[in-house]
Amino acid sequence: HGGHLEVIVGPMFSGKSEELIRRVTRAVIARQRVVVFKPAIDDRYHATHVASHSGRIVEALAVRSTEDVRAYLRGERPLLSEAAASPDVVGFDEAQFFDADLVPLALELASSGARVVLAGLDLDFRGEPFGLMPDLLARAESVEKLTAVCVVCGAPATRTQRLIGGQPARYDDPVVLVGAHESYEARCRVHHEVRRDQA
């Protein structure tokens, strides 16, 4: 049967990694060849695993770029798992952190018959579409939008609240922070706050 793109989106804590792990685990049980990639930028818990906030993990290859992924798939580097160079299922976690070449790669994989499962943030902390995700969402055969629980009111949360020192982040803050003392919460549209004042 032919390949296709499945995209899993939602805010932080909505269970995107859990859902990716669930789908990938079922493919492994069915003895399909599975390989999962994640950006090296996300080093929470373990560099070679996809970890969900609830603690479940599957083996994944940490890569610095889409070209890294291509090198693995060309067989130029050893794969951690026994998945061959022609995988049945290719997973990507934190897809929003990949460069734009992920879109054509995902389409090539689907055209060659692979099931491509991509999990990522649809919106950044400001509530703006995140990088290449709109492109992936438009091209996917299947899209699942997950919600978390708003920490303020308990409604379904569709947004990721960034806090810096307990205060809502500013609109002009960089989308990707390195080494800042920030924290994140799941919030609904009503309780999602972005400061518009200048730094």
Q: Which residues are catalytic?
A: 94
Is residue 192 a contact point for ligand ADP (CB under 6 A)? no
Q: Is 79 in the site for ligand ADP (CB under 6 A)?
A: no
Beta strands in 34-158 (DSSP E): 34-39, 49-51, 57-59, 61-63, 89-92, 115-120, 142-145, 148-149, 156-157
CA proximity to 22, closest of 107, 119, 104: 119
Q: State the minimum distance, in angstroms, from the CB of residue 135 to ligand ADP.
A: 20
Contact range with ligand ADP by CB under 6 A, out of 36-44, 48-56, 98-106, 174-182 = 48-56
Nearer to ligand ADP, 16 or 23 (CB): 16
Q: Which is nearer to ligand ADP, 49 or 126 (CB)?
A: 49
Q: Which residues contact 93 (CB under 8 A, 6 or more apart)?
A: 16, 17, 20, 36, 37, 38, 42, 50, 60, 119, 120
Smallest separation (angstroms) from ligand ADP to the CB of 24: 13
Q: What residues numbered 150-189 form the site for ligand ADP, per CB under 6 A? A: 151, 186
Q: Is 97 in the site for ligand ADP (CB under 6 A)?
A: no
CB contact set of 67 (below 8 Å; sequence gap of 6+): 101
Return the residues of window 3-32 that contact ligand ADP according to CB under 6 A: 10, 12-18
